[in-house]
Amino acid sequence: MKKALALILLIPFFTTAQQKTVKNVILLIGDGMGLAQMSTAYYYGGDDEPNFSRFPIVGLINTSSAKQRVTDSAAGATAFATGRRSYNGAISVDTNRTNIPTITEVIRGRGIKSGLVVTSSITHATPACFYAHAESRREEEKIAQFLPGSGIHYFAGGGLKYFTQRSDNHDLIGAMLQRGFILDTTDLIPDGMIDPDKRYGYLLSPGGLPSKLEGRGDFLTEATKGALDYLSLNERGFFLMVEGSQIDWEGHGTNAIGIIEEVKDFDKAVGVALDFAEKNGETIVIVTADHETGGFALTPSVEDGESNYENISPSFYEGATKEESADHTATLIPVLAYGPGASVFSGIYKNSDIYHKIMELTDWKAPIKMQAKTTLTGDDIPRKVVK
């Protein structure tokens, strides 16, 4: 009788213990990557199946901002980073221009580290929304000022000039060194062993990095690996945002070959994230985009007035190619998800729900236990956010 009772009591305990929890989140954003852009990986990617195919869960998001049907990258990233929709150009401020807490600000108080890897400047709209607040994405000098004291522990991208050639002459490099950053402006290779007590920052060009066609090389995959090597040392977990920033730029330039190369590069970074998540078991990987750029389509080539279904001749929306400057569109955007609880990302929902789904899967918004306080460093105390 006693034995049977013990067994009954043990069952619920084991069920709970076996439930997988999400400790780490990797969000990969292909700026301007609609379904057609993503599809290029299937037609121009060579013999290997794209890493996109490794995701068991697919969803769609509506990307409109609070004010406009067609979003820009700032409003798009504000939705992902804060769970709130705002106006085009907003860097994590609401429609009243009041700061909204970003995901990295919410989690830093829990000892969770954050990383950003981008091929634009680190002050560009998409990454900026994860650590800064500004009324306009154009205020890149102001945005840069947030980085030294932010909850970002690893970043890699371009944008050195916003830190070194400032109109106010503020020494932001000095400010970052004071905050425990090890900075590098030449390459991604850390000197010696990775020190989990330090922060790492890589600013590898004055503005955005070169495009893939201009010879950027393996920056995106290498920086993603570097970020994961460092962030995974953190006991309490991490949030990493990786952006294929220039899929959008090639879309604006109506450069189909450029899009193809940028998407291929992005898919490789996705592979790095998935390899990590497969081994780790407590990581969720989400791939999505802020919006589509160019009204890009994989249309058949036209020969003698007839469609040739054998060949694809990528095209952009009418009028875009004439001016060599295409704009964003309002089509729904794919979401791919892998990891424990990934099924919450299936369905059709708003861009801002990505944030809420992340919070649903992690315990990042649950009240902090008192005992956690003693192990937090001064750097991890949340900055007061004006509501």
- Footprint of Zn ion (CB under 5 A): 248
User: Which residue's Cβ lies closest to Mg ion?
Assistant: 126
**Least distance in Å: CB of 95 to Mg ion?**
21
Beta-carbon contacts of residue 280 (< 8 Å; ≥ 6 apart): 24, 232
**Least distance in Å: CB of 251 to Zn ion?**
7
Residues 114, 382 contacting (CB under 8 angstroms) = no
Stretch that binds Mg ion, among 72-80, 176-184, 228-236, 373-381 (CB under 5 A): 72-80
Measured from the CB atom, is 248 or 250 closer to Zn ion? 248
Dist CA 141 CA 322 (whole Å):
34
Dist CA 73 CA 127 (whole Å):
10
Q: How far is CA 22 from the centre of its chain?
A: 17
Question: Residue 262 binds which one of Mg ion, Zn ion, none, with CB within 5 to 8 A depending on kind?
Answer: none
Dist CA 14 CA 33 (whole Å):
42
- Other residues' Cβ atoms within 10 Å of the Cβ of residue 238: 23
User: Which residue's Cβ lies closest to Zn ion?
Assistant: 248
Beta-carbon contacts of residue 377 (< 8 Å; ≥ 6 apart): none
Token pair of 47 as six digits:
């013999």
Among 245, 288, 315, 351, binds Mg ion (CB under 5 A): 245
What is the x/- site pattern for Mg ion, positions 105-124, by CB under 5 A? Answer: --------------------
Question: Residue 362 binds which one of Mg ion, Zn ion, none, with CB within 5 to 8 A depending on kind?
Answer: none
| Torsion angle of C-alpha atoms 161, 162, 165, 170, degrees rounded to 10 | -150
**Least distance in Å: CB of 327 to Zn ion?**
8
Instruction: For residue 377, give the 3-state DSSP assignment.
Output: coil
**Least distance in Å: CB of 99 to Mg ion?**
20
Among 73, 78, 99, 362, binds Mg ion (CB under 5 A): 73
Token pair of 22 as six digits:
């999400």
Helices (H) and strands (E) in the chain, counts: 13, 14
Question: Residue 245 binds which one of Zn ion, Mg ion, none, with CB within 5 to 8 A depending on kind?
Answer: Mg ion
Among candidate residues 235, 284, 228, the one with its CA nearest the CA of residue 22: 284
Among 25, 27, 28, 31, binds Mg ion (CB under 5 A): 31
- Bridge partners (DSSP) of residue 287 are 28, 336
Q: How many residues bind Mg ion (CB under 5 A)?
A: 4
Measured from the CB atom, is 245 or 351 closer to Mg ion? 245
**Least distance in Å: CB of 208 to Mg ion?**
10
List Cα–Cα distances, 145 to 159, 174, 318, 366, in angstroms.
12, 12, 41, 29
Instruction: For residue 246, give the 3-state DSSP assignment.
Output: helix
Measured from the CB atom, is 90 or 112 closer to Mg ion? 90
Stretch that binds Mg ion, among 243-251, 274-282, 292-300, 324-332 (CB under 5 A): 243-251
What is the identity of the amino acid at 4? A
Question: Residue 126 binds which one of Zn ion, Mg ion, none, with CB within 5 to 8 A depending on kind?
Answer: Mg ion
Measured from the CB atom, is 51 or 245 closer to Zn ion? 245
For residue 302, what is the DSSP state? E
**Least distance in Å: CB of 243 to Mg ion?**
6
**Least distance in Å: CB of 80 to Zn ion?**
15
**Least distance in Å: CB of 195 to Zn ion?**
37
Question: Residue 246 binds which one of Mg ion, Zn ion, none, with CB within 5 to 8 A depending on kind?
Answer: none
Token pair of 300 as six digits:
């058949």
Among 126, 315, 329, 352, binds Mg ion (CB under 5 A): 126
**Least distance in Å: CB of 299 to Zn ion?**
22
Where on the chain is the footprint of Mg ion (CB under 5 A)?
Answer: 31, 73, 126, 245
